Amino acid sequence: MRMYLISDNNDTYTGMRLSGVEGTVVHTKAALKEQLDKVLADKTIGIVLITEKLSAEFPDIINDIKLNRRLPLIVEIPDRHGTGRKPDFITAYVNEAIGLKL
């Protein structure tokens, strides 16, 4: 299984290409949809890396794939500017999931 990157900036794309991960840079909803259609048609791609910013801009497309398909696995990654998450997002996630305050 291969990984594939869909990014909204060239810096993340360049860094991932240097590590051997193929990918593309998109900025519009139509371009994102087109790339995802290509990725979904390629059965050798098992993991799709997508920048958090791009995922937040078009959650309907991303959530549809996450909820209705087993493969590929969609993984949201921060770009070079860092993550948009709170510093304690893991603790908050666990608290919400199990209902216990840690």
For the whole model, what pTM was predicted?
Answer: 0.76
pLDDT score of 81: 65
pLDDT of residue 53: 87
> 3-state SS of 58-84?
CHHHHHHHHHHCCCCEEEEECECCECC
- Its domain, for residue 92, covers 2-98
Per residue in 22-31, pLDDT tens? 999 999 999 9
More confident of the two residues 36 and 97: 36
Convert the pLDDT of each residue in 40-95 to its tens digit. 998 999 999 999 888 888 888 888 888 888 889 998 888 766 666 666 756 776 77
CATH number of the domain that residue 38 is part of = 3.40.50.10580
Residue found under tokens 């910013």: 53
The domain total for the chain is 1
Residue 83 main-chain phi, psi, to 5 deg: -90, 155
Determine if the peptide bond prior to 72 is cis (ω within 30°): yes
Alpha carbon distance 32, 6 (integer Å): 8
